[in-house]
Amino acid sequence: MITAGGTHTHTHTQRPKTLAVFERAGSEVTDKVTLFRSVADFQQLHEVAGKGGHITIIGGGFLGSELACALGYKTKSTKGSVTQVYPEYGNMAKVLPEYLSRWTTDKVKSEGVDIITHSTVKDVTTTPDGKLKLSFDTGKEVGFIYTFSLVYTL
């Protein structure tokens, strides 16, 4: 699992709460989570995508959306998959007008990315076979049957 983020601090309350979910989850989860910050992290994601793994991106800002597009495109040829999760109604909704956010969301979807909007990660656990399962504040749960990488965009 890979998490993504820059070096600056945000005051938005959803992201620190979500990050705390992963920090308190225990080593079975945290061993599969990395805060995404470097070219090496991208290379690791690209490798997962190339092997047909599953990648989940938490965050709908510029970095998360760009990663979702690039990795979604890559997984089209490898039978992998990409999911993007964020609390807003669309990609980059915090910085773009609604019509552009919806256009951007459609673009990300066209690259094969499954998008879960209006959702914040409430819990993360491991399944008996070692895969990860995310639970959202909406009550929805998503389990992953492939290699799982999480990109957390701060």
Does the structure show a pLDDT above 90 at 152?
Answer: no
* Residue type at position 129: D
Q: How far is CA 154 from CA 16, 70, 111, 127, 131, in A?
A: 9, 18, 22, 26, 24
pLDDT one-digit tens code per residue, 60-94? 999 889 989 989 999 999 988 899 999 999 999 99
Are 131 and 142 in contact, with CB atoms under 8 Å apart?
Answer: no
Contact yes or no for 45/149 (Cβ under 8 A): yes
Task: Specify the pTM.
Answer: 0.80
Residues composing the chain: 154
